[in-house]
Structure 1
Amino acid sequence: MTLKLGTEIPGTSAEGNITTIWVPAIKNIKAPTIIELEAGTDISNYVMLGGWSFDPSQDTVSDQRENTVQDFGAPGRKSAGDISIEVIDNTNTEHKEQNEAVTLMHEGASGYIVRRRGMATDAPLASGQKLT
């Protein structure tokens, strides 16, 4: 299939349509259950716009052969790259009781960040929804 230049591609605004949940445990990350997701905490209101960064990468192993003028490469080590999330931190403020993101994601904490795009954050979680 070839995409022709000038073809209009429809888009959906991400603003207001991203849900971010901190989930303490998921047995199978390829198929989290509704029960596991509902045991999580919605931290969407704490994530700063543009504050999510996940940049996985894979190195290339050099394969230079003396009988060719071409350099070859093979897939190498994988890296999660830059993984960061910028959240509102209400520590030492009058809103210190509203600080779930910082409280849950302290150093050494174990859990999963689950994201759902394309649906309003107040839409309930349901099976069949695409999650990352």
Structure 2
Amino acid sequence: MVATPIAATSRYIPPGTTHYYWVPTISNYLSPTRSELNAGTDLTGEIAAVSGFATSSDQQDTPDLGTRFVSKIPGRITADDSSITMYLSSTSSDVRTLLPRDTSGYVVILPEGDISGQKMDIFPVKVTGQPKARDVENPAQITIQFSITKIPAENVTIP
């Protein structure tokens, strides 16, 4: 007997597909409503780069005297340092006013787009900084740095 193969994927690249929303308030971030998502701001068109927005579990050794093998168990869950780099405007009308330091809310990531029934990830966050790139040759950019404040809601169905 042969094992059943995993279903074939419909592959894609993030540009033109993935969306990032800033949503200031969600009553239950484990299950946001359509109106809460619609009240957010779509950051996608001004994003130059994204870093982090991932979780991982520590591994804890569990040795015992019965064997030389050291088994492991899952430990604490942590979130990577996370940021979104965006473009600055020559009029100062940009993300700086939307996301000043100490602003709390939610970064909602819709990997396959904002399509009802698809999956999204919701990261409760607080803005920790807004360092600006001081490059004299490239487009002006600002990096919005975030602390992940609660365990993210991952693979939530989009309403």
State the TM-score, normalizing by the size of structure 1: 0.75
Tell which has more relative contact order, 1 or 2 (C-alpha 8 A, sep 6+): 1
Match of 1:11 in 2: 11
Q: CA RMSD in A?
A: 2.5
Q: Does the CA contact (< 8 Å) of 1:87 and 1:102 recur in 2?
A: no
Q: Does the CA contact (< 8 Å) of 1:19 and 1:115 recur in 2?
A: yes
Name structure 2 gaps, 5 residues minimum.
Answer: 122-159
2:92 is the alignment partner of 1:103 = no
Higher gyration radius (CA):
1
When residues 43 and 10 of structure 1 are mapped into structure 2, their CA distance, relative to the original with a 3 A threshold, is: closer
Match of 1:29 in 2: 29
Name structure 1 gaps, 5 residues minimum.
Answer: 120-124
Cα distance in 1, alignment partners of residues 100 and 28 from structure 2: 23
Match of 1:83 in 2: 82
When residues 96 and 62 of structure 1 are mapped into structure 2, their CA distance, relative to the original with a 3 A threshold, is: same
Give the alignment partner of residue 109 of structure 2, picking from 87, 103, 115. Answer: 115
Measured after TM superposition, the shift of residue 88 of structure 1 is 1.7
State the TM-score, normalizing by the size of structure 2: 0.63
Cα distance in 1, alignment partners of residues 115 and 13 from structure 2: 21
Higher strand share: 2
Percent of aligned pairs with the same amino acid: 31
2:120 is the alignment partner of 1:131 = yes
Across the two proteins, how many residue pairs are aligned to each other?
A: 119
Q: State how 1:23-62 maps to structure 2 within 5 Å.
A: 23-48=23-48, 50-62=49-61
When residues 117 and 67 of structure 1 are mapped into structure 2, their CA distance, relative to the original with a 3 A threshold, is: closer
**Displaced runs of 4+ in structure 1, greater than 6 A?**
none
Measured after TM superposition, the shift of residue 78 of structure 1 is 1.0
